[in-house]
A = this chain, B = another copy of it.
Amino acid sequence: MAHSHPELTKNQSLVFGSLSDAGGPLTAYAILDALRDSGFRAPLQVYRALEKLVDYGLVHRLESLNAFVACSHSGCAGHDTAAFAICEKCGLVSEFTPDKAIAYLKDWTGEQGFQLSRTTIELRGICKQCAAA
């Protein structure tokens, strides 16, 4: 699941590049706009590339923002158990891997007989910088 991946195609590289350059989350349509000069014309070009990139573990989808962000730990181990802290002031997104919290969630799913395939953990609040300001 996720992790190693073949060479990226042209479109995948462009999409991944625009996310990396942004250094933060972008919506699919923001990516589309960023790549018009590179020849992108339609949303599907972006969505198709994103699907693969998420699959490969290079990009995360932020459900609560309907946006996408390049993975902080390229080729990251816990890609499917990453968590995100999202600042509601400045938009900063910090990715981390809450192993112990995940362990407790897995305890619960184990007890329930729930076969866990993917976790979404997104924290909303104010980052240190913005709180200080």
Residue numbers of A with Cβ under 8 A of B are 63-64, 83, 85, 87-88, 94, 96, 98, 100-102, 104-105, 108-109, 112-128, 131-132
Contact = CB atoms under 8 A, between A and B. Distances in A.
B125 A114 contact: yes
Contacts of A96: 108
B104 A100 contact: yes
Nearest to A99: B104
B112 A63 contact: no
B104 A85 contact: no
Contacts of A85: 108-109, 112, 114, 116
Given A63-B63, A98-B104, A101-B105, A116 B120 contact: no
A49 B85 CA distance: 28
A100 B102 CA distance: 10
